[in-house]
Amino acid sequence: MQIIPAIDIIDGKCVRLTQGDYSQKTIYNENPLEVALEFESIGITRLHLVDLDGAKLGKVVNYKVLESIASKTKLSIDFGGGIKTQDDIETVFNYGADLATIGSLAVKNKPLFFSWIKKYGAKKFLGADVKNEKIAVGGWLETTNVSIYDFIDENLNEGIENVFCTDISKDGLLQGPSIDLYKNMLAKFPKLNLTASGGVSQLSDLIELKNIGCSATIVGKAIYEGRISMNELKQFMA
């Protein structure tokens, strides 16, 4: 199972929110590049970079942070947040992202999203942000009536293979990930490449997610709060 650290960006700074609440923001580093270089130094090869300003505003904002990390590290960057138009997705790829995570658009504008699946293929990740098994969009500010299972089923039929799923109720709380949710998803869609996100608080969480069959796991606040050390991450990846 691949470990993918998350760097969430507001105003060009590395931050974390609690349960997607923009009013519950903690700044961890003024310079996200420093954080990315530290991850790279222990053997991390992939990074999840989230433009929280972009997610809230509905357009890509922090592309200069993306460019800085992409040009000064060898990390494979998965970028999400605010990708709504053809210009947005081209900006993301032009400034150095290897993958694009898209959630809101896959709900709000299915024809455009499905056209991107055909055009960009493996460079596309489906972002499934979940609250009580319903899809949330717009930087988690709006919960829809769309079931996570219906959402995945429809997109799998269009050719999506990789899904990045965050349980908002767990995110930033350091109380453990949504094991039952991920088990249910993998039981219903056994061929799914599932990246789990939200709630990881200690090394045992990573072991459990690996054991149930997740392809990758996003780790954020647990690293920044010192719950999982860089040395532990390094040993887990060995």
3-state secondary structure of 229: coil
The residue annotated as part of the active site, out of 8, 51, 167, 205, is 8
Q: Mean of the pLDDT values across residues 83-101?
A: 95
**What's the pLDDT at 137?**
84
Of 78, 88, 129, 205, the catalytic one is 129
Tens of pLDDT, residue by residue over 172-224, are: 777 899 999 999 999 999 999 999 998 999 999 999 999 999 999 999 999 99
Residue 115: predicted pLDDT: 93
Q: In sequence order, what are the residues at sequence separation of 6 or more whose Cβ sits closer than 8 angstroms to the Cβ of residue 162?
A: 122, 124, 125, 126, 193, 195, 215
Q: What are 99-129's pLDDT values in tens digits?
A: 999 988 899 999 999 999 889 887 777 889 8
Mean pLDDT, residues 12-20: 88
Interior angle at CA 201, CA 198 and CA 202, nearest 5? 135
User: Is position 129 annotated as part of the catalytic site?
Assistant: yes
Lookup: tokens for 202: 């200690």
Domains located in the chain, CATH noted: 2-237 (3.20.20.70)
The reported pLDDT for the residue numbered 161 is 86
The 10s digit of each residue's pLDDT in 134-177 is 998 876 668 899 999 999 999 999 988 889 998 888 877 778 99
Q: How far apart are CA 109 and CA 103, in angstroms?
A: 10
| Other beta carbons within 10 Å of 226 | 8
pLDDT value for 121: 81
180 flagged as catalytic? no
